[in-house]
């Protein structure tokens, strides 16, 4: 493998990993704070992607504005969804949560089918984000993938800032470790949960929007990303967003280079990675030993 | 008399925090050895290390001369170390008798005999009957465990411990949440059990401790500050200032 | 750790016990007699439901009896089916070795998956089992092992002496026998020491460890047995359909079977069977225009809403509902 190809694959691995982190962070946030396992999280990714497909013609060149609009819309959706549905899941056991969110996936899939159909769609890129730059003598790399990686980094930094440096973040961290105490401090835990949930949905959907021009928009995209997200969370560790980042990048590399070297069995690579982690450190790379 | 359970320099670190530091104590058959201390003194960590729920960072635990420091909790239980919990860990939906019978089954598990009815297992039934008799719960054997009073549940917790016919009993706050009458009954039970077991008692109820204990070890901030018979502990100036000061 | 699931009923009532032993036997006898009279469509439908019942029963052991919520059970079902087809080759084979092979293949994968997954708890266990099932799915979907996404056909159905699984009536009785075997085995396990230990692990794992049970070993044993029985269901499916495809291992399938045991009633063997029947009927009804008109095309929507409503309103399933409605004292 020459240097150019190697660099391209590395960039791909990082970009894929960062995108996975975006989705996984939404999942970890919701699970870490509210203790709800949400199988429908992949659906938010799908919704984001289809949203990008629907909004692209309206926003044209103003891609970043479109992303922001998407974030606002999906956060709103998340807020309503938490109030109407998810808030009822907190008291239920994991099995019921799994099945109810499984039902939700079916509902989302069918609604998407009714509203937008089952076709595969491409999402066009505005001119300023299109094109590639040269990498070495033979290869070129699309500008959009760099943009995607940067966007994920910006969001990750934003997330870090909010969780670690703001009052809201402090309440989130407190709520994660001691729900009752937070309640006792007079913080409206229900509104906190609603905000966190909305953020989780928006993160997942944003990832879908960013991914859409690269992977196109197709019916089962939610399911595949969900399962990989689970793998990331398991590898990264219990309750750790940093762990999710490390794990996501690891998965990105294993998957990307796996595809290069073991074309047929590439899909299996990340599960083998997960198996290794389970043998060596079952609580995850950065998880706390319970 | 050699100790049944001998603990030497037991230490547990959580990252930079030393929860239990260099604890040495002995449990002898026929004795109740109480461990007292304020909250955060390391008593729970200590008992968790003795039962095998968490690993020791350093030190040794010997059962009848054998080193059990690296043994799993289940293996220690089968070797004769029984444990009761502060938060009741009974099976609320089974009957009182089934609670004990199931615990006793661990000694003679025979999982491959799938055609046999578990409830007809002679050895576990016998052990359960004995344990219930010893704990004074024989009359309520057929009742659903969840329906018992709090005090009776705590007694069942101890009975389940006994069902595995242990030699050492590690009791974690068995008197938690009990009223005066229930406390008397539990102490009477411990008095009866003392003869044939080595008992470690972690407790907050000072009156009860001084009534039943033969030896008392006092822990503060993870370390032992005093250990001896109740009278000497009561008179120990360090103990008085560190712990008993406000009460006595 | 996952929350306490619906408990196994403490059947102190003697009438209750007689009823729950006689009812399944009666149903089996009824089916045995009615077999030849059912006609082509009827036999087909009943065989399909019986196979799903075995699949659901195998999961009941894991979820209902041991309290381990697995979202990857379809992997063992699919592996049993694929093993049957692949081992049949061009000449077919005898049930005598194909059946054990299917079960052993499924059990083998269950051993590996179980050994690793059981190092986690609660939600992580759910995620890991799902992931390992997905891994198996990819192996059959992407590699040349199976026929890829199209699946593979079986050339010759399994036989045993005069019995040929090609014959519809033979299929019926073989599957019925397998169902009776599975049900009976699980009933025996349920009341055995092993079953009692599993129940204890489900209710309070910590206490079981403190009593001296090697909890990991018990859970792994349950996991492998459940996998083997799912492999049995897979064998029967392959023998019935003559074709297998990767969708058998999909997480939709894992979700569906989980739904079946909730639908029927968690923790009860007959709940698994009832759930399999109700789910199959429900899916049929929701996708048939004769019943729901234009909604039939959007059966995913109606099914999804039905699932949500059902789990929300009747978490104890149909058996739970029946218990609430009956005036019988507990």
Domain residue ranges in chain A: 3-219
Question: What pLDDT was estimated at residue C6?
Answer: 40
For residue C257, give the chain A residue with the closest CA: A99
Q: How far is CA A127 from CA A55, A60, A146, in A?
A: 16, 9, 15
Is the separation of the CB atoms in A171 and A188 below 8 Å?
A: no
B111–C194: do the CB atoms touch at under 8 Å?
Answer: yes
**Would you state the pLDDT for residue C131?**
95
Contact C224, C115 (CB under 8 A): no
Give the Cα separation of B22 and A215 in Å (integer).
59
pLDDT in tens, B144-188: 999 999 999 999 999 999 999 999 999 999 998 888 888 999 999
pLDDT computed for residue B245 by the predictor: 55
User: Cα angle vertex B229, ends B224, B234, to 5°?
Assistant: 80
What is the pLDDT at residue B205? 87
Which residue out of A81, A112, A278, A283 would a mutagenesis test of the C interface target, given it has the greatest number of C Cβ atoms within 10 Å? A278
Beta strand ranges found along chain B (DSSP E): 5-14, 17-27, 32-37, 58-63, 66-67, 81-84, 168-172, 198-202, 215-220, 223-228
Mean pLDDT value across residues C144-154: 84
Q: How confident is the model at residue C328 (pLDDT cuts 50, 70, 90)?
A: low
As beta bridge partners, residue B47 has: none
pLDDT at A184: 74
Here the tokens at position A69 are 């609009």
**Residues of chain B with a CB closer than 8 angstroms to some CB in chain C:** 51, 72-75, 77-78, 82-83, 85, 89-95, 98, 102-107, 109-119, 121, 144, 160-161, 163-164
Q: Is C144 exposed, middle or buried (0-12, 13-18, 19+ CB in 10 A)?
A: exposed
| Token couple for C212 | 């001296």
A264 pLDDT exceeds 80?
no
Q: Strands B198-202 and C243-244: what pairing?
A: unpaired
Picking from B73, B112, B118, the nearest residue to C196 by CB comes out as: B118
Band of pLDDT at residue A116, cut at 50, 70 and 90: confident
Q: Is residue A262 less than 8 Å (CB to CB) from chain C?
A: no
Q: Which of these, C69, C318, C67, C5, lies nearest to A92 by C-alpha position?
A: C5
Contacts of A109 in chain C (CB under 8 A): 300, 304
Can you tell me the mean pLDDT for A184-197?
83
pLDDT at A226 exceeding the cut of 50: yes
Q: How far apart are CA A274 and CA A260, in angstroms?
A: 19
Interface contact C303-A103, CB threshold 8 A: yes
Domain ranges of chain B: 1-80+167-178+197-248, 90-165
Q: Report the distance separating Cα B213 and Cα B228, nearest Å.
A: 10
The C-alpha atoms of residue C17 and residue C309 are separated, in whole angstroms, by 31
SS3 assignment, position B127: helix
Residue C3 has pLDDT above 50, yes or no: no
Cβ atoms of C95 and C160 closer than 8 Å: yes
| Global confidence as pTM | 0.92
H or E segment and range at residue A133: strand A132-135
| Residue C3 with chain B: CB contacts under 8 Å | none
Q: Which two tokens stand for residue C134?
A: 């997905």
A52-82 as b/e: b if 16+ CB within 10 A: bbebbeebeeebeebbebbbebbbebbbebb
Question: Tens of pLDDT along C86-101?
Answer: 998 888 888 899 999 9
**CA-CA distance, C217 to C281, in Å (whole number)?**
38
Percent residues over pLDDT 90 in chain C:
64
Closest Cα in chain B, distance from residue C39 (Å): 37
Q: In the complex, which subunits touch A with 3 or more CB pairs below 8 angstroms?
A: C
- Compute the nearest-CA separation of C61 from chain A (Å): 15
Q: Determine the pLDDT at residue C11.
A: 47
Contact C98, C154 (CB under 8 A): no
DSSP label of B226: E
List pLDDT tens digits, range A65-95: 999 999 999 999 999 999 999 988 888 899 9
- CA-to-CA dists, residue B111 to A41, B117, B166, C190, C195, angstroms: 41, 11, 21, 12, 8
Judge whether residue A56 has pLDDT over 70. yes
Q: What is the arithmetic mean of pLDDT over C313-325?
A: 88
> At B117, is the secondary structure helix, strand, or coil?
coil
pLDDT at position C330 is 45
Residues of chain B with pLDDT under 50: 248
Nearest CA in chain C to A35: C123
Specify the residue for token string 């859409």: A212
C179: CB partners within 8 A, 6+ apart: C28, C50, C53, C54, C57
B110: chain C residues, CB-CB within 8 Å: 193
Nearest-CA distance C261 → chain A (Å): 11
Using DSSP, state whether B92 is helix, strand or coil: coil
Closest by Cβ to B116, choosing from C192, C214, C215: C192
pLDDT at A28: 86
* Structure tokens, C13: 């009532």
- Kindly state the average pLDDT of the residues A132-155: 86
**How many beta-carbon pairs below 8 A join chains A and C?**
132
All residues of chain C having their beta carbon less than 8 Å from the beta carbon of residue B172 are none
C-alpha to C-alpha distances, A117 to A121, A286, C143, nearest whole angstrom: 10, 41, 30
Cα–Cα distance list, B7 to A190, B50, B69, B76 (Å): 48, 8, 9, 14
Q: Longest C-alpha distance within chain C, in Å?
A: 59
Q: Which residues pair with B14 in a beta bridge?
A: B17
3-state class (DSSP) for residue A139: strand
In the three-class reduction of DSSP (H, G, I as helix; E, B as strand; rest coil), residue A217 is classed as: strand
Fold for B1-80+167-178+197-248, please state it: Rossmann fold (3.40.50)
pLDDT band at residue A238 using 50, 70 and 90 as cut-offs: low
B81-84 and B168-172 beta bridge pairing: parallel
One DSSP character per residue, A171-215 reads HHHHHHH-HHHHHHTT--HHHHHHHHHHHHHHHHHHHHHHHHHHH
C195–B114: do the CB atoms touch at under 8 Å? yes
DSSP H or E stretch at residue A49? helix A41-59
Across C232-248, average pLDDT: 94
Give the single-character DSSP code of B82.
E
- Chain C: list its partners (3+ Cβ pairs within 8 Å): A, B
List, in sequence order, every residue forming a beta bridge with B34; answer none if it has no partner.
B201, B216
Average pLDDT over residues C9-18: 63
- Per-residue HEC secondary structure of chain C comes to CCCCCCCCCCCCCHHHHHHHHHHHHHHHHHHHHHHHHCHHHHHHHHHHHHHHHHHHHHHHHHHHHCCCCCCCCHHHHHHHHHHHHHHHCCCCCEHHHHHHHHHHHHHHHHHHHHHHHCCCCHHHHHHHHHHHHHHHHHHHHHCCCCCHHHCEECCCCCEECCEECCCHHHHHHHHHHHHHHHHHHHHHHHHCHHHHHHHHHHHCHHHHHHHCCCHHHHHHHHHHHHHHHHHHHHHHHHHHHCEECHHHHCHHHHHHHHHHHHHHCCCCHHHHHHHHHHHHHHHHHHCCHHHHHHHHHHHHHHHHHHHHHHHHHCCCHHHHHHHHHCCCCC
Q: What are the tens digits of pLDDT across the range C41-66?
A: 888 999 999 999 999 999 999 999 99
pLDDT, mean of residues A197-214 = 94
A290 touches chain C (CB under 8 A): yes
* Reported ipTM exceeds the 0.85 cut: yes
Name the one residue in this structure whose structure tokens are 């990993």.
A17
Secondary structure element (H or E) that encloses residue A275, with its range:
helix A269-280
Average pLDDT over residues C8-29: 73
Nearest CA in chain C to A113: C298
Q: At what angle do helices C193-203 and C215-241 cross, to 10 degrees?
A: 110
> Which residues are registered as beta bridge partners of C65?
none
Residue C307 reports pLDDT greater than 70 = yes
Closest CA to B100 of B74, B138, B73: B138
Lowest mean pLDDT among A38-52, A223-237, C18-32, C205-219: C18-32
Q: Percent helix, strand, coil in chain A (nearest 5)? A: 75, 5, 20
Give the residue from chain C lying closest to B124, CA to CA. Answer: C193
């Amino acid at each position: 493998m020459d240097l150019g190809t190697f660099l391209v694959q590395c960039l791909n691995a990082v970009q894929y990993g960062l995108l996975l982190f975006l989705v996984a962070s939404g999942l970890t946030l919701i699970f870490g704070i509210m203790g709800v396992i949400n199988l429908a999280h992949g659906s938010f990714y799908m919704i984001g992607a289809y949203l990008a497909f629907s909004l692209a013609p309206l926003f044209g060149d103003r891609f970043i504005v479109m992303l922001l609009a998407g974030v606002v819309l999906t956060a709103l959706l998340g807020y309503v969804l938490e109030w109407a549905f998810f808030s009822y899941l907190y008291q239920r056991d994991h099995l019921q949560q799994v099945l109810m969110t499984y039902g939700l996936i079916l509902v989302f899939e069918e609604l998407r089918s009714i509203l937008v159909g089952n076709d595969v769609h491409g999402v066009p890129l505005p001119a300023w984000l299109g094109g590639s730059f040269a990498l070495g003598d033979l290869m070129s790399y699309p500008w959009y993938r760099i943009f995607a990686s940067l966007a994920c980094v910006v969001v990750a930094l934003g997330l870090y800032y909010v969780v670690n440096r703001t009052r809201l973040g402090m309440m989130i961290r407190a709520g994660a470790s001691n729900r009752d105490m937070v309640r006792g401090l007079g913080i409206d835990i229900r509104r906190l949960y609603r905000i966190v949930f909305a953020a989780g949905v928006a993160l997942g959907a944003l990832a879908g929007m960013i991914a859409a021009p690269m992977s196109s928009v197709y019916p089962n995209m939610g399911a595949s990303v969900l399962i990989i997200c689970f793998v990331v969370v398991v590898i990264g560790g219990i309750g750790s967003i940093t762990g999710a980042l490390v794990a996501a990048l690891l998965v990105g590399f294993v998957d990307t280079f796996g595809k290069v070297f073991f074309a047929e069995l590439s899909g299996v690579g990340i599960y083998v990675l997960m198996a290794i982690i389970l043998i060596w450190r079952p609580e995850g790379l950065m998880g706390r030993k319970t | 008399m050699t100790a049944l359970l001998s603990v030497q320099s037991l230490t547990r670190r959580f990252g930079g925090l030393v929860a239990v530091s260099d604890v040495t104590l002995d449990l002898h058959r026929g004795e109740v050895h109480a461990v007292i201390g304020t909250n955060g003194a390391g008593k729970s960590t200590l008992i968790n290390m003795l039962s095998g729920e968490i690993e020791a960072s350093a030190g040794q635990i010997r059962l009848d001369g054998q080193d059990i420091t690296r043994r799993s909790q289940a293996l220690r239980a089968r070797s004769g170390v029984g444990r009761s919990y502060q938060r009741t860990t009974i099976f609320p939906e089974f009957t009182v008798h089934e609670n004990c019978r199931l615990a006793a089954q661990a000694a003679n598990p025979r999982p491959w005999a799938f055609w046999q009815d578990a409830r007809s297992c002679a050895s576990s039934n016998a052990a359960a009957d004995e344990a219930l008799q010893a704990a004074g719960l024989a009359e309520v054997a057929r009742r659903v465990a969840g329906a018992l009073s709090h005090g009776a549940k705590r007694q069942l917790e101890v009975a389940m411990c006994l069902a595995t016919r242990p030699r050492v009993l590690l009791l974690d706050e068995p008197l938690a949440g009990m009223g005066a009458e229930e406390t008397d009954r539990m102490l009477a039970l411990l008095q009866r059990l003392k003869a044939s077991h080595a008992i470690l008692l972690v407790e907050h109820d000072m009156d009860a401790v001084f009534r039943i204990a033969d030896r008392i070890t006092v822990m503060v901030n993870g370390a032992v500050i005093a250990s001896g018979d109740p009278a000497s502990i009561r008179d120990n100036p360090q103990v008085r200032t560190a712990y008993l000061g406000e009460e006595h | 750790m996952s929350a306490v699931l619906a408990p196994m009923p403490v059947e102190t009532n003697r009438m209750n016990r007689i009823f729950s032993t006689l009812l399944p036997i009666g149903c089996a006898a009824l089916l045995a007699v009615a077999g030849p009279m059912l006609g082509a469509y009827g036999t087909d439908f009943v065989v399909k439901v019986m196979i799903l019942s075995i699949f659901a029963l195998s999961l009941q052991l894991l979820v209902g009896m041991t309290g381990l919520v697995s979202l990857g059970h379809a992997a063992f079902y699919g592996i049993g089916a694929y093993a049957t087809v692949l081992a049949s080759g061009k000449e077919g084979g005898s049930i005598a070795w194909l059946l054990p092979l299917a079960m052993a293949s499924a059990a083998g994968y269950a051993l590996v998956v179980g050994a690793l997954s059981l190092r986690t708890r609660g939600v992580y266990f759910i995620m890991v089992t799902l992931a390992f099932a997905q891994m198996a799915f990819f192996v059959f979907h992407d590699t040349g092992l199976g026929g890829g996404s199209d699946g593979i056909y079986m050339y010759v159905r399994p036989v045993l002496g005069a019995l040929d699984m090609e014959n519809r009536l033979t299929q019926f009785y073989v599957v019925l026998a397998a169902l009776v075997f599975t049900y009976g085995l699980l009933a025996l396990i349920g009341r055995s020491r092993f079953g009692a230990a599993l129940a204890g692990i489900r209710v309070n794992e910590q206490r079981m460890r403190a009593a001296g049970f090697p909890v990991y070993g018990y859970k792994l044993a349950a996991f492998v047995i459940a996998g083997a029985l799912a492999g049995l269901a897979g064998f029967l499916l392959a023998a019935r359909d003559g074709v297998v495809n990767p969708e058998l291992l999909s997480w939709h399938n894992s979700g569906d079977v989980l739904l079946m045991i909730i639908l029927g009633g968690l923790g009860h063997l007959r709940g698994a069977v009832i759930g399999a029947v109700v789910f199959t009927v429900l899916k049929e009804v929701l996708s048939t225009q004769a019943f729901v008109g234009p909604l039939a095309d959007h059966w995913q929507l109606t099914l999804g809403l039905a699932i949500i409503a059902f789990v929300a309103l009747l978490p104890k399933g149909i058996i739970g509902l029946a218990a609430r409605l009956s005036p019988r004292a507990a």
